[in-house]
Structure 1
């Protein structure tokens, strides 16, 4: 895979950044479309996306630094050296959701309705983001002798010249399937919050399984679990609790 897609004079278009940008735009347009269909004040979707991107990146960066606390203690310069790379997706999810909650509270919007409306778009954006990971070579899989593998040659992240499990491809496919499944749930849900709860459940379960095939586990662990698996356990049960609570909530 090639991360440097195009050079225009002093400017370079990177595959990872391009896919992130496409994912954000896809999230915005699909989110706004659904907000209009659900008769929500769709003019807020743009600002929600912008603020959630900011909160998401901050959350992803903060969680990455937390997982690398030993490196920071050994070399405080690690903080400034990793300002532009090194993110943990779960931190981004939590940061984005928290930012959306704050925005909705400030603007006096129905948070659960927007939560349901936008979470399918988050899954869609993640699907494009994982394509970016594939282009860059980050979030790579373990070494494998299986027929379905990928070998990097110029990656700055993955080991080059070694057949690896294509975890980025698996994750991207799961995210796109997740997007479609959440849309189906949103169309048939009976209580606000059910789609958002389903996102937490399905994403956590999928991420927990994919982590077994990841080869970059130096990014942190809690006992026998990777950091993301450890967080997945809590977000999975949080989703179940939220789903049960919402289904037993009184109708308005």
Structure 2
């Protein structure tokens, strides 16, 4: 649990940044491999799509974080420009990445739903590595616990040190890797474009809603009795269900019309 992994002169390798980088590379490689199998890649298309999604994801994650901190920003607008490298909300990254991907497909006149399905398993993979980075940095930590799974930080700038905490980062990472494998399995079973992406929203939303009950960091904001992420999870969960059902029905109607 050490964020500063290696220092060479003035250059320091941070665990959080390293895991994010590994996650992005893993996401790109898996998406490119699957794109070639599906005939969706021309050598540069997936790479450009990933770059668009990464940029959109970073901006979206930061924007949603700033929205959750609107009271502090209204009191001191300079908060917007402080520590840009800190403070991101995953849901903002998901929405920002999806919007950027949609714009990319729109500009190049590509079938968005096919690329949506292509990218979302890779997003789950990247999130798995990203949560390991959270663990190394000590952010996104869990509530205090007396159970045997408790993890104690001793030199974290984010988590309370010297207190056994639920390792929500590692639990989330394990769920993300499981999510990745499940989506790859469903990608072989789903017939309608967009259903894999819909299942991503369903599974991620359900897992995130439950896991939020065990989070101990309070900086994420809240909506009533729910955290911001739990509140959003309700809508994304049902949006995912609607996507899976409606796109499946549309595919079935199209197949029936073609048979006639």
For the criterion TM > 0.5, the same-fold answer is yes
Shift of 1:251: 3.3
Cα shift at 1:75? 1.5
1:1-252 equivalent positions in 2, closer than 5 A:
1-42=1-42, 43-249=44-250, 250-251=253-254
Deviation at 1:217, TM superposition (A): 2.2
Separation in 1 of the partners of 2:62 and 2:224? 22
Q: Which runs of 5+ in 2 are unaligned?
A: 256-260
Deviations 1:24-56 (A, max 9, x none): 000000000000011113431100100100000
Q: Are 1:191 and 1:251, in contact at CA under 8 Å, matched by a contact in 2?
A: no
d(CA) in 2 for partners of 1:74 and 1:158? 25
User: 2:258: which partner in 1?
Assistant: none
Q: Deviations over 1:174-203 (max 9, x none)?
A: 000000000000011111111000000000
Report the TM-score, using the length of structure 1 for normalisation. Answer: 0.98
Q: Distance in 2 between matches of 1:2 and 1:74?
A: 34
Shift of 1:219: 2.0
Which 4+ residue blocks in structure 1 deviate beyond 3 angstroms? Answer: none
- 3-state SS in 2 of match to 1:219: coil
> What's the CA shift string for 1:47-101, capped at 9, x where partnerless?
0100100000000000000000111112212111131110000000000001000
Counterpart CA distance in 2 for 1:233 and 1:4 is: 36
Moved more, 36-45 or 99-108: 36-45
State how far apart, in whole Å, the 2-side matches of 1:251 and 1:146 are. 53
Counterpart CA distance in 1 for 2:57 and 2:4 is 24
> Structure 2-normalised TM-score?
0.95
Larger radius of gyration: 2
SS at match of 1:13: strand
Give the Cα separation in 2 of the matches to 1:45 and 1:17.
22
Q: Which moved more, 1:78-87 or 1:3-12?
A: 78-87
Give deviations 1:116-147, integer Å, cap 9, x for gaps.
11110000000000000000000000011111
Aligned counterparts of 1:71 and 1:144: Cα–Cα separation in 2 = 30
